[in-house]
Amino acid sequence: QVQLVESGGGVVQPGRSLRLSCAASGFTFRSYGMHWVRQAPGKGLEWVAVIWYDGSKKYYADSVKDRFTISRDNSQNTLYLQMNSLRAEDTAVYYCARDTPYSGNYYLDYWGQGTLVTVSS
């Protein structure tokens, strides 16, 4: 069965960096676009970034552009989110989610359980 397991969350000071990982199993990871979506405490869902199945395209939300970088290692079935210059408003549960095959252009059919990032001094 499809499994997505996020890790790397924690408490970090403003201005510092953190890298999240998402380990995928149960499907052919290299064939699927992947996303990061976040949810601030008590708030709604906010899309963060997408990477195409082959890494050829990446898109970001304006709120994280130039600070966050999405990447993937298809040999390790792992998705990453490098987060730099973190701000208090980046505090959220971060979910990785799967798109459709050979794309990054559609809906999200499987989600991980999320990892909490808290930005605080």
Q: Does 106 bind another protein (CB under 8 A)?
A: yes
Site residue total, another protein (CB under 8 A):
22
Q: Which of 2, 21, 27, 60 binds another protein (CB under 8 A)?
A: 60
Q: Are the C-beta atoms of residues 104 and 49 closer than 8 Å to each other?
A: no
Q: Does 113 bind another protein (CB under 8 A)?
A: yes
Contacts (Cβ under 8 Å, ≥6 apart) of 92? 38, 39, 40, 41, 43, 46, 116, 117
Q: Does 41 bind another protein (CB under 8 A)?
A: no
Query: Applying CB under 8 A, which part among 9-17, 20-28, 55-63, 74-82 lies near another protein?
Result: 55-63
Q: Does 66 bind another protein (CB under 8 A)?
A: no
Q: Are the C-beta atoms of residues 117 and 91 closer than 8 Å to each other?
A: yes
In order of 15, 69, 87, 121, the CA distances from 79 in angstroms are 23, 11, 22, 28
Site residues for another protein per CB under 8 A: 35, 37, 44-47, 50, 59-62, 95, 105-114
